[in-house]
Structures are given as structure tokens and as C-alpha cells.
Amino acid sequence: MSLAYQQRKRWKNHTGNQSVEPLRIYRPASLQDLREIVQVAERDGVTVRAVGSGHSWSDVALTTGYLVRTDRLGEPLEVDGLRRDYDGPALVRVEAGMRIRELNRLLADRGLALSQMGGYDAQTVAGVLATSTHGSGITLGPICDFVRSLDVVAGGGRLVRIERADGPTDPAAFGGRELRQDDDAFDAAVVGMGCMGVVYAATLAVEDAYWLTEVRELSSWEQARDQIASALAVNRHYEIYLNLYPRQSGEHRCIVCRRNRTKDARRRRATDRLRRHWWIELASSSKILPFFGNLILDALPDSAPRRTDQLLGWLADNEYTGPSFKVLNIGAANLLPAYSSEIAVPLEGNAHIRAIDALIDVAARHRDLGRVYHTGMVALRFVKASPALMSMMHGRDTMMIELIHATESEGGYELLGAYEDALYALGGRPHWGQVNTLTGSHDTLRRMYPAFDRWLAVRDELDPGGTFDSPFSKRVGISRR
Ligand SMILES: Cc1cc2nc3c(=O)[nH]c(=O)nc-3n(C[C@H](O)[C@H](O)[C@H](O)COP(=O)(O)OP(=O)(O)OC[C@H]3O[C@@H](n4cnc5c(N)ncnc54)[C@H](O)[C@@H]3O)c2cc1C
């Protein structure tokens, strides 16, 4: 084994709020490299964890053992072993370290597109699957729901292709390689939080390229909340950005954002992004203005509610039309110095409405007792129930509540923890990739996730020796060792 690695090198996530000094950092360039790394780690008695592009704010990607960077595993692959009678949607197969950005370009070149994506595109394919990353639109599940097949390097360096029972691969055409076609195995492995092995490749169902029109309309939560059900029924993508603090009128300002397919594909070429709030895009991508914004919030925390109202006013927009992957990407707002928690609450029983009431109370209480402010907006996104066993949307249509904070907010993490507790009481489940304080105590995961034991059974089979354990898996009580 002669694979190069770095020792005593610090690895940091994209925001810089998570870092670790693993024993080794590898940058494999092939499937064979991956298999060797797992085998060497097991020989050395060390754990392994793959990382994508480090866009998780939680500790989910950290490892103290051998860290595997996947930035050299981003090539398109052939869809191999396809059943002759396959007549489903178009499929694309890529190495799992490819970023969504490059995947979108690859698809656009072929006249294709993802049916759904999150609000950003710098994450990797394996990264978005591992944490059940999602967009918004109640007829569309998280991105993992569009995967049809996974090639995983499991414990022992064993390579196994995992699909549902009716998966697209023909066992006879798969040349004696290990193929596991089983619903539970697939639904467990697809949202694996790095604990199921290293994903080498994924095959996704995609569709013909399409365009979207986005409209962002200023409103108030008090108006918008009564229209959620009807709006979800008629809009492909629908989300709300909200200020938790009331205006003088007592109403909470929000933006209602709708995105729908358009036939009116007006080609806007290079200037299309600039036409969406061009000066906000410019201000957000510069380092200086957000830096001063953070300073102001630090010195004058009481100004946070007003600033959020201002920001919402700036974000309102009559129309933005473009290729789907450009419109679904919320733009330079992703570059602002911020971190967030995101909690999944069920739509059933109006838990989502009660959740916002609870958050408004928590925000007011922390302001009154400790002059601690929520320094960003709250994004509400709607996601179809997912079959993936440990997806936050497993088994229930969901409203995702993203609680965004400026990085320098004092008391920000404590406030996020208080929101989290309030939302757990309403059936909340935290996003694996966002800040959370979940622990393995009180049998919490088993109570949150009805299929938890089925997920564990698959994990035990793919990783019998605990090779893919990590500080995160220990914290939430899912370590194998
Ligand atoms: C600016 C920004 C915008 C975001 N927008 C959204 C959004 O719109 N919707 C949403 O739901 N989330 C969003 N997130 C969260 C983000 O999508 C997730 O945290 C995602 O998992 C990050 O992907 P990554 O490639 O950076 O993976 P990392 O953060 O590096 O890793 C995440 C997990 O994936 C595992 N992993 C990575 N590669 C592999 C592999 N090859 N094999 C096995 N496991 C692997 C890691 O071990 C880890 O458990 C956003 C985050 C940021 C910073």
C-alpha cells in the first residue's frame, strides 16, 4: 500500500465552526484507492470517515481516525448493468465526490436536470445524500429520494451495489459483483451519515431540462400561515422566509417565495443572476459588507429585528426566470457568514403552525431575559415524506424550519439549543448536517425514528467492525464499537 496521506493536518468545515486533526488525511483518486484505505484502516485498528465539501455545520463529517477527502472522485460514470427492460426516468451515474454544481452542468450539457435540489450547489452528491439534504415543494422528497443505486465501499473494503428490490441493475449483467437489491438495505444506506461505508458512486433519476419562474412576495406570517395548505397544492416549490420578531403592528414580516415551471424560457445569458437583486448578490458575495453587518449586530444586538425586516424587504422580487438549477439556488446569500440549525416538524395536526408560535415565544423570552437576539431570518421549506429510514422526513410530510444566525451573534448557539428543545416537544427531528445538540440519551433516536432498528441492522451488516464510527456517531448513540 503506497497511497499518499497527510499527517497532523487540521481539517475544517466550510464555515470554520468544526475542525479536527485526524490521524491521516487521504485524497483517493480511484475506487481501488478507497478499498485499500478502508482495509489499511482496519489493519491499523483505526476508524475511517469520508468527507464531501465540508458544508455541514454539525460534527457529522468529523473523524479522529483516517479522513478521506473525496474531491478527486468527481467524474461521470457509465450506467452499467442496466436491466434490458428498464423503462423508468433517465439515469445518470457519477462518482460521489462530484459537487452538485458540476452535476448540474453535466446534466445541462445532456439536456437534463435534477428534479429537486437544495438552495445551494457546492455540496457533493454523497454529502447531500448522507444528511438528507432537501429543497422545498410538498410533491418532492429530499434529494436522496431521487437515487436509484449506490456503490458503497463497506467494512473490509468490500464493494457492494445497493438498490431497492426493483432496482435498475440486472443481476445477470452485473458480472458476479456483489449486488444487494433490498428495500431496507437501500432505504437505510442512502441516508447513512457516513456510517454505512464510503459511497463511491450514485445513480440518480433525472428529467428533461426545464425552466422555473420565481416570485418573492412580501407578506406577514399571520396572513401566510392560513394559506400554506392551498399554496402547497398549486406551487411546485413554495417556501417562506420569516422574522421571529413582530413589527409595531404586531405582525411578523415574511416573504412568500413561489417557483413554478415556465414555458416562457426567456434566455438571459450571463446577466441572469445579476437581475435577481443584483446589488444584494454583490453585497453578499463581498467579504466587507457582511463583516460590518456582523460587527453592528454584535455592538447593537437590539437592532437585529429591524435589520431582518430590512433584509426581507430587499429580498422581495417580482420575477426571476431561468434554468431550474439557477433558480433553485438561492444565490449569494449562501456566502454570508452564518450558521444554522434546521428542525423537521410534521405537517400533521398543524404541528408546523404551533412550532412557529413556540419559536416566537422562545425568541421573545431570550430577548427579554438575556438581551440575546435571533440575528437572521427563519426559512420554512416543505418536503414530501421520504422512505429513507433515517431521513428527517421519514414517513411524514414535513416543514423544515431553518434557523439562520450571523456567525458573531452572542448567545446564538444557546438560542438554537432552546429552539431545538421546544421543537422536539412537537415531534421535531434535527437536520443531520446542521447545528444540533442531539445525544443518544433517553433512547431519543429510537423514539424519533420508527425504523431506527431496521437502519441499525443494515449498518451492522455493512460495518460489522465499527470502522465508520466517529465522534458524531458516539454523540448520538449509533456507534458500532
Ligand atoms: C451554504 C450552505 C447551504 C446549505 N443549503 C442546504 C439546503 O438548501 N438544504 C439542506 O437540506 N441542507 C443545506 N445545507 C446543509 C448541507 O447540504 C449538508 O450538510 C450536506 O450534507 C453537506 O454536504 P457536503 O458535501 O459538504 O458533505 P460534508 O459536510 O463534508 O459531509 C456530510 C456527511 O456526508 C458524509 N459523506 C460525505 N461524503 C461521503 C462519501 N463519499 N461516502 C460516505 N459518506 C460521505 C460525511 O461523512 C458526513 O457524514 C447547506 C449548508 C451550507 C453550508
- Assign residue 194 a region (left: φ > 0; alpha: ψ between -120 and 50; beta: otherwise): left
Span from the CA of 193 to the centroid of ligand 1 (angstroms): 9
Of 146, 121, 122, residue with least CA distance to 132: 146
User: Which of 72, 128, 378 has the most ligand 1 atoms within 8 A of CB, as the residue to mutate?
Assistant: 128
Q: Is residue 72 classed exposed, middle or buried when 0-12, 13-18 and 19+ CB atoms within 10 A define those classes?
A: middle
Judge if the beta carbon of residue 332 lies within 6 A of ligand 1: no
pLDDT at residue 271 in the model: 47
Span from the CA of 190 to the centroid of ligand 1 (angstroms): 13
User: Which of 47, 51, 72, 384 has the most ligand 1 atoms within 8 A of CB, as the residue to mutate?
Assistant: 51
Contact (CB, 8 A) for 30 and 152? no
pLDDT at residue 270 in the model: 44
Residue type, 14: H
pLDDT at residue 315 in the model: 87
pLDDT at residue 62 in the model: 98
Beta bridge partners of 402: 342, 379
Contact (CB, 8 A) for 147 and 202? yes
Neighbouring residues of 171: CB distance < 8 A, sequence distance ≥ 6: 179, 181
Cβ neighbours around 235 below 10 Å, total: 20
pLDDT at residue 100 in the model: 98
Judge if the beta carbon of residue 14 lies within 6 A of ligand 1: yes
Judge if the beta carbon of residue 470 lies within 6 A of ligand 1: no
pLDDT at residue 2 in the model: 72
Residue type, 441: S
Q: Which residue has the cell 486533526?
A: 21
Judge if the beta carbon of residue 141 lies within 6 A of ligand 1: no
The minimum-distance atom of ligand 1 relative to the CA of 152 is 42
CA distance 202 to 162: 10
Angle (nearest 5°) at CA 392 between 88 and 479:
105
pLDDT at residue 384 in the model: 98
The minimum-distance atom of ligand 1 relative to the CA of 58 is 19
CA distance 300 to 370: 14
CA distance 28 to 25: 10
Span from the CA of 177 to the centroid of ligand 1 (angstroms): 29
pLDDT at residue 77 in the model: 98
Judge if the beta carbon of residue 198 lies within 6 A of ligand 1: yes
Contact (CB, 8 A) for 372 and 363? no
pLDDT at residue 275 in the model: 63
- Sign of the Cα torsion 296, 302, 307, 308 reads positive
CA–centroid distance for 413 within its chain:
19
The tens place of each residue's pLDDT in the chain, 481 residues long, gives 579 999 989 999 999 999 999 999 999 999 999 999 999 999 999 999 999 999 999 999 999 999 999 999 999 999 999 999 999 999 999 999 999 999 999 999 999 999 999 999 999 999 999 999 999 999 999 999 999 999 999 999 999 999 999 999 999 999 889 999 999 999 999 999 999 999 999 999 999 999 999 999 999 999 999 999 999 999 999 999 999 999 999 999 999 999 999 986 655 554 454 467 777 777 777 777 777 777 777 778 889 999 999 989 988 888 889 999 999 998 877 888 889 999 999 999 999 999 999 999 999 999 999 999 999 999 999 999 999 999 999 999 999 999 999 887 889 999 999 999 999 999 999 999 999 999 999 999 999 999 999 999 999 999 999 999 999 999 999 999 8
